[in-house]
Structure 1
Amino acid sequence: MPVADIADTVRASRFIGAVLKRHPQWAEKKAYAQPRAAGELEAELKLLLGDEADEARVMRELRGLRDREMGRIGYRELAGLAQLDETLGDLSTLAEVCCAAALDHAMRTLCLRYGQPRDAQGARATPVILGMGKLGGRELNFSSDIDLICCHTASGETDGSHALDNSEFFKRVVQMVTKLIAERTEHGFVFRVDLMLRPFGSAGPVSIASDAAEDYYQQHGREWERYALIKARPVAGDIKAGNELLQRLRPFVYRRYLDFNAIGSLRSLKKLIADDVARRRQDDNVKLGRGGIREVEFIVQSFQLVRGGQEPRLRDPRLRPVLRYLAEAGHLPEPTAKKLDEHYVFLRRLENAIQIYADEQTHSLPLADEPRAALCLALNFDGWPALVQRFTEVREDVHHEFARVFAEPGHEDPEQDLAALIERLWAESPDLSVEQSALEPLAREDFGDAAADICKRLRDLRDARGTRTLSQTSQDRLRALLPLLLAETLQESEPATAATRVLGVLQAIGGRSTYLTLLRESAIARGHLVRLCAASPWVSQLLSTNPALLDQLLDARTLYAPPDKAEIRAELDHVFSQITDDETEAGMDALRRYRLETTLRIAAADVAGSLPLVQVSDRLTWLAEAVLQVAFDRAYAELRASYGVPLRRDGQVAGLAAIGYGKFGGIELGYGSDLDLVFVHDCDAPDQETEGGRRPIGGDVFMVRWAQRVIHWLQTLTPAGRAYEVDLELRPSGRSGLTVSSIEAFAQYQRREAWTWEHQALTRARTVAGSASLGERFEAIRREVLSAARDPDKLRQDIIDMRARMRASLDKSTATNWDIKQGEGGLIDLEFITQYLLLREAPGKPELLRWSDNWRQLEDLVSAGVLAETDRDTLIAAYRSLRAWSHARGLQQQPVLAPAEAFAEQRAQVREIWKRVGLASE
Structure 2
Amino acid sequence: MTAPGRRSSTFSRLLRHGFTDPSAAERLLESVELTAVRNDPVLLEALGATADPDLALLGLVRLLEAQPDHKARREVLDTLIAAKPLRDRLLGVLGASAALGDHLFRHPHDWQALVTYEPQDLHPGVAEFERGLAEATDPVALRVAYRRCLLSIAARDVCGTTDVAQVAAELADLATATLRAALAIARAAAPDDAALCRLAVIAMGKCGGHELNYVSDVDVIFVGETADGADEQKAVRAATRLAAHMMRICSESTIEGSIWPVDANLRPEGRNGPLVRTLSSHLAYYQRWAKTWEFQALLKARPVAGDLELGEQYVAALEPLVWKAAERENFVADVQRMRRRVVENIPAAEIDRQLKLGPGGLRDVEFAVQLLQLVHGRADTSLRSGTTLDALRALAVGGYVGRQDAAQLDAAYRYLRSMEHRIQLYRLRRTHLVPEDETDLRRIGRSFGLRTEPVAELNREWRRHAAVVRRLHEKLFYRPLLDAVAQLAPGETRLSTGAARERLVALGYADPAAALRHLEALASGVTRKAAIQRTLLPVLLGWFADSADPDAGLLNFRKVSDALGRTPWYLRLLRDEGAAAQNLARVLSAGRLAPDLLMRAPEAVSLLGDGEGVAGGAGGLEPRERAHLEQEILAAVGRADGAEQGVTAARGVRRRELFRTAAMDIVGSYGTEASPAAADQGALVDLVGGAVSDLTAATLAGTLRAVVRDGWGDTLPTRFAVIGMGRFGGHELGYGSDADVLFVHEPREGVEEREASEAASKVVAEMRRLLQIPSADPPLLIDADLRPEGKSGPLVRTLKSYEAYYRRWSLGWESQALLRAEPFAGDEDLGRRFIELIDPLRYPADGLGEDAVREIRRLKARMESERLPRGADPTLHTKLGRGGLSDVEWTVQLLQLRHGWREPGLRTTRTRDALAAARAAGLVGAEDAATLDEAWVLATRVRNAVMLVRGRAGDTFPSDSRELAAVGRYLGYGPGHVGDMLDDYRRTTRRARAVVEELFYGG
- The two structures have a TM-score, normalised by structure 1, of 0.49
Bigger Rg, which one: 2
Highest RCO, 1 vs 2 (Cα 8 Å, sep ≥ 6): 1
- The two structures have a TM-score, normalised by structure 2, of 0.46
